[in-house]
Structure 1
Amino acid sequence: MIGGGRSLVVAAVVLGVGLAVSALPAAAQGRLELGVGVGAVSGHPVGGADATLTPNTGTAAGGFTLFSTESELEAATALDLRLGWRLSRIFAVEAGLGYATPNVATRVTGDAEAGSPRLDTVLSQWIVDGSVVAHLTALEAVGGRLRPFLVGGLGYLRQLDASSALVASGGVVHAGGGVKYAVWNPTDSWVKRVGVRAELRFLIRNDGFDFEDRRRTSVSGFASVFLAIF
């Protein structure tokens, strides 16, 4: 019975520590959060176009299609910078800057003379976004170190090629979620938390580089390290 009592005491202490950590006010957990990460963004089609030979004026013949093209914005590795401000134990706001260099692959079809060549154009892609983060405090684990969260927001998209001759801009809506894990929780320092973060987002893009007036969807995933201070 003594051994069982010790087990209950240890379990109670562990539970109490976990509840105490999770109940800390926002300031005690660090209001300002800085993060840097790396990940990937999936690709999506960007439409195509037809090269048509226009008949002479006054003739009854219709146009003749010389060849057609189909283009795709391919998946790419991306960098991600985050700056967040915790409003409460649950809610926070974030500003983010993402950078990637996706390739636009254009395939030519229907050209009897040239076959089916492929043309590649590498873009510099920037996304500046703002997000609201909701921490799922009821699902915290490992003494409050593991914190699931949901995230959603809006962003501005900017794309340009190497010569800056091609410039396109648009908007991005994102929603997703992930987890944060605090590796270090100092108690007597201006540094409040140091940890890692994993996140998955679904993106809806409007405008940007595209041959068609359509919204495009993609997925991004990132792993990052973060530092919470003050």
Structure 2
Amino acid sequence: MDELTLPAPEHQEVFQRVWARVMGEQAAPPEGPAIPAMEMAPAAASVMGAAAPARATDSPATPPATVGESLPQPNEPQAQPEPDSRTARLRAQILEALEGWQFYRHLARRARAGARVLRDLAADQHRQARRLAAAYFLLTGVRYWPTDTLTTPPRIPLWGALRRRHQAEQGAQQAYLAAAQDAGDPELVELYQQLAQDCEEHCYQLRGLLEQIT
């Protein structure tokens, strides 16, 4: 390796003046006390030389179940009754009664004449739905009230809406009379007969309302 030759002293002085004029504020920083190197303890040095063993993953130990202590169980859904013709029919009738209640309510908000009659019909439909829901609960032990499935009725002219409801009341009357024939329960038979009479009365009220707005 070639030996490094230092410049003469007169050349060093010229070099330092040129260096100071070129670098300006970027002169070399003043020398400070040197920070002593940190000495590593012998034990640490020996550890650094060897690979660290793999750390086992800690897993919480599951304590054994105490005798007589039951483990928490997730919430089980409410058992649904076995489907049969009576319960399935009741569920459909409850939903139909609630849909009629919804229809009359929306119609009463639109109608100028006959709004009071329509509100009364809505109240009757809601009462029918409650009576059917009570009968369903007595048979199954499950409360069925599907108001969350109701949708907004279609907006059609008042005359057409009243005609549609008149046809629906006639159909419900016939369905209640047919259900009373094979209900098999005296209380259920009486309920269906009363609901059929209500539907007949609703048809008369709707006919009278159509006569008023003519």
Query: For this structure pair, what is the TM-score category when the shorter chain's length is used for normalisation?
Result: under 0.3
Compare the two structures and name the one with the higher strand fraction.
1
- The TM-score with structure 2 as length reference comes to 0.20
Structure number with bigger Rg: 2
Compare the two structures and name the one with the higher helix fraction.
2
